[in-house]
Structure 1
Amino acid sequence: MESHYCRKKTSKLYLETLWESKAQLLKVYNNEFCKDNNCDPVSIATFSEVFEQMNLSLYQPKKDACDLCEKYKTKNVSEEEYKCHIKKKESARVEKESDKKSTKEVTMDLQAVQLCPRSNVLLTLF
């Protein structure tokens, strides 16, 4: 599924939302797949490791498509309005990429800043 937001550049494969957790998926694997194929079930650790190696995920990111695109899919928005929206989306992406190349970002941990001179005496005001 093409994304507007967070899945644009990911290679992760999202499974259908039939299962709420890996443990639940493992239970289905053990009870159905292993019994049908006469194979020994694996541990949750092995299952999770293979799941990650295969680049799978159970949960699709919530931000996936905008309202206007969803309205277009259900034919509630005109073709002209949709095309204008797509042009704006592509323009915004181009600008974002150019901004990434031309700006520098600096981050600091200000919680670790200590004032000098340092004193271990507690100041009280009377």
Structure 2
Amino acid sequence: MVLLAILVLAAHALTPAWAAEKPTYEKRDRTIFDLLDDNHDGVISMPEFKNNQMLIFYLLDRNKDMVLTRNETVLPPDLFDKIAGPKGKINTIEFMDVVDEAFKNADTNHDGSIDHNEFNALMRRVRQ
């Protein structure tokens, strides 16, 4: 569920780039994978995953106050509340904690990286 949130945020952050053309899921998934795979070695390492998730955080933080509010995300209210807690905001540390858990869930073979197959399987689960 947490990884769903991360990927929804990633897709949301990239949506303006695709406004003119309506890409297939495969094209969007490939674009997200390629953005996360900084060194283009065909796998996403934990540092790549974390570094790029912060870029997504900064893209989503429209007012640049270093916290995400409900109106800055597309998360379901219950998931947002779970991450944000009673203060109603997600800071960068909380966001990074979510990223750690998300990576562990996606790395199904526990080799320390997310390959194309793991990423594609993850995206299929996200869309169900």
TM-score (norm 2): 0.24
In our comparison, the structure showing a higher alpha carbon Rg is 1
Structure number with higher relative contact order (C-alpha < 8 Å, ≥ 6 residues apart)? 2
Structure (1/2) with the larger strand percentage:
2
TM-score by length of 1: 0.24
Higher helix content, 1 or 2: 2
